[in-house]
Amino acid sequence: MRPGSILSEAWRNLASGTSRAVLLAVVFVATVGLMCLLDVRQEVAVLQGAATFQTAGGSVQVASGSTVSGRRCDALATAGGVKASGAIRQGDPIVVLSMPASPVPVVEVTPGLLAMLPMIAQPYQADPSVTGGVWLSADLASTLGAQPGTILQTDNGPARVAGVYTWPSDGRARDLGYVMITPVTADTDFGQCWALSWPPDQNGLVLTSLNPGGGGQASLNQLNMSLGANYDTAGLLANRLTRPAPMVGGLIGLALGYVAVRTRRLEIASGLHARVPKTYLAWQHLIETLVWAGSASMIIAAALIWAAKLGNPDPYWPIWATAARTITTALTATLIGATTALTLIREKHLFQYTKDR
């Protein structure tokens, strides 16, 4: 028989509803799609936790107990795995003339720590036109009635506010909680070196910023210990509850494909009795199965783009690709199930199929 005849017969079965394509596609979307959706959202939740861990300062290691070389500390940001680093020290309090009775605490930081600030103090506001200005915590800015671009009159002269940052009370150290940050050069010594590393496997590297023989006992601490000592993103992803999604999707597809063909055993046995080649019937049913299962797979794949983007702090394609493996497995298993069911149908069972109808 010609390929055109196979396609024509498959189309007639799809158009007439004989293949139950719509019903099977709906079941495929509802079952495989739900499994993929749960897997995607669980992965997004893990990445959200990682983002929270970083922005809360959980991945920032603080070296102290000796003098810190500002230049070496800032240079740590060039090391692999270290996203940002910078040094910090207490400065002399400054008096804002509008509030002379309450000197404002001052913290001096290197350019590296100022570059780290948006990563761990969000949200923040900045005036890009201001260079060399000071930064205020949100609490201090509220007290002074200042915002980015405001010029503060101080006992050291005018100081222009370059930005305002938020320092939440979420368990992090309060070093920057109610202070004015003043950028300085990294050429001198400081009291602490902060390094944000991700994944957090370079924590000990920050200790290299300490000056040898600087006095004091060197120590290494987390900026925020409230979220635990570490956040094992890879481990959480590897051990998530929905990790067997491809296997479950394959079992669902196998069952759907088998049932889709098995329920038409009388029709197939009748065709065999009429001397229709089994190869012809196999191609016909595989085409029909591919149409409804393939259409359902494309619907799921499109919906999962949205699911992988929603609330995801990282690029969505890796998560979508993980779910796409489940879809591909389910689609392939559906075709295998349909083929298996067709293989097990025999012409000699036609009478039994008729009785069972």
- The last residue of a domain, from among 169, 199, 226: 226
247 and 346 share one domain:
yes
- 231 falls within a domain: no
DSSP secondary structure letter of residue 224: B
pLDDT in tens, 207-236: 889 988 766 678 889 999 998 888 899 899
The pTM is what?
A: 0.84
174 and 211 share one domain:
yes
- 186 falls within a domain: yes
206 and 257 share one domain:
no
- 74 falls within a domain: yes
- What per-residue string of b and e applies to 20-41 under the rule 16 or more CB within 10 Å gives b? bbeebbebbbebbbebbbbbbb
44 and 153 share one domain:
no
8 and 142 share one domain:
no
197 and 120 share one domain:
yes
> Where are the strands (E) in 102-218, listed by range?
106-109, 124-126, 134-137, 151-154, 157-165, 180-183, 189-190, 192-197
In 3D space, the residue among 98, 101, 71 whose CA is nearest the CA of residue 87 turns out to be 71
207 and 306 share one domain:
no
- 303 falls within a domain: yes
**Tokens (6 digits) for 284:** 């016909």
CA separation, residue 310 to residues 8, 254, 316, 319 (Å): 42, 31, 9, 12
**Phi, psi (deg, nearest 5) at residue 135:** -115, 140
Expressed as residue numbers, the domain containing 80 is: 58-226
- The last residue of a domain, from among 173, 195, 226: 226
- What's residue 123's pLDDT? 78
* Residue 302, Cβ density class (10 Å: 0-12 exposed, 13-18 middle, ≥19 buried): exposed
162 and 122 share one domain:
yes
152 and 266 share one domain:
no
32 and 132 share one domain:
no
pLDDT < 50: residue spans in the chain: none
- What's residue 249's pLDDT? 96
**Tokens (6 digits) for 343:** 């293989």
pLDDT in tens, 180-204: 999 999 999 999 999 998 877 666 7
* Residue 274, Cβ density class (10 Å: 0-12 exposed, 13-18 middle, ≥19 buried): exposed
80 and 200 share one domain:
yes
If you search the block for the tokens 């993103």, which residue do you land on? 233
279 and 323 share one domain:
yes
